[in-house]
Amino acid sequence: DQQVKQNSPSLSVQEGRISILNCDYTNSMFDYFLWYKKYPAEGPTFLISISSIKDKNEDGRFTVFLNKSAKHLSLHIVPSQPGDSAVYFCAASALGAQKLVFGQGTRLTINP
Amino acid sequence: SQTIHQWPATLVQPVGSPLSLECTVEGTSNPNLYWYRQAAGRGLQLLFYSVGIGQISSEVPQNLSASRPQDRQFILSSKKLLLSDSGFYLCAWSLLAGGGTGELFFGEGSRLTVL
């Protein structure tokens, strides 16, 4: 049972444009959401997070939007840069839970 | 500052051989520790997590086991490797209860190829 889903395995965006990565979840107990970025042969690194009490969190070029009623969140990167090319994982957790549940990841490629 | 190390970085093992991947965390106490696996073309699958010494929770039935002999040491093992054990293994830690309101910090990863 995939509780966190990233339905797009890959995304290609032109440099300077906006990249939008999407994530859906099914567990209504999830109340904290995170995005991780992963380069090949390296561990994922934390990018940005959002609590369920918010619907938007912004950090520089990165903004995460949360739509609780739709159980959907998205990561916006603007402007996109070549160094943003990586696999992006969405993750979620429930209050008091001992673990994060990850999506399958989306490979983002920024074209010059 | 906190750091996490795991080794070896790369491992090629024959089917049926044993496995030991080690992970250590520095600069923190009582971390939650995790082993994840990223199989080719798939997401991050949680294998084991530990909230304290000797306390191991297994997420999926498998050919692997985990141990936590010390507060900041987490070991992933197998007695006999299968071809399906190939993948990229990631150790991670968090300070708050399972990353419920915090993030995970990952090690560099260990690529295991079983032939």
Q: Is residue B99 very low, low, confident or very high in pLDDT (cuts 50, 70, 90)?
A: very low
Contact: B99, A93; criterion CB under 8 Å: yes
SS3 A83: helix
Residue B97 has pLDDT above 70, yes or no: no
Closest approach of A35 to chain B, Cα-based (Å): 10
The CA distance from B106 to B104, in Å, is 6
**Residue the block writes with tokens 């380069």:** A39
pLDDT digits 0-9 by tens, A5-51: 999 999 999 999 999 999 999 999 998 999 999 998 889 999 999 99
pLDDT band for position B100 (50/70/90)? very low
Lowest mean pLDDT among A12-21, A55-64, A89-98: A89-98
d(CA B83, nearest CA chain A) in Å: 20
Taking only the tens place, the pLDDT of each residue in B6-53 is 999 999 999 999 999 999 999 888 899 999 998 766 788 899 999 899
- Among chain B residues, the shortest Cα distance to A89 is held by B43
Q: What is the pLDDT of residue B98?
A: 46
Mutation site, A1, A93, A95, A101, interface B, largest B CB count within 10 A: A93
Provide the mean pLDDT of chain B. Answer: 89
Q: Are residues A65 and A76 in contact, defined by beta-carbon separation less than 8 angstroms?
A: yes
Residues 27-66 of chain A with CB under 8 A from chain B are 32, 34, 36, 41-46, 49, 51
Interface touch B32/A105, C-beta < 8 Å:
no
- Look at residue A45 in the predicted model and tell me its pLDDT: 92
A7 in reach of chain B (CB within 8 A): no
b/e code B60-69 from CB counts within 10 Å (16+ = b):
eeeebebbbe
Which of A29, A87, A98 should we substitute to test contact with B (largest number of B Cβ atoms within 10 Å)? A98
Phi, psi of B109 (to 5 degrees): 95, 155
pLDDT for res B96: 64
Contact B97 A96 (CB under 8 A): yes
Cα separations in angstroms, B52 against A39, A110, B31: 30, 42, 8
In this structure, of A39-43, A76-80, A94-98, B109-113, the range with the lowest mean pLDDT score is A94-98
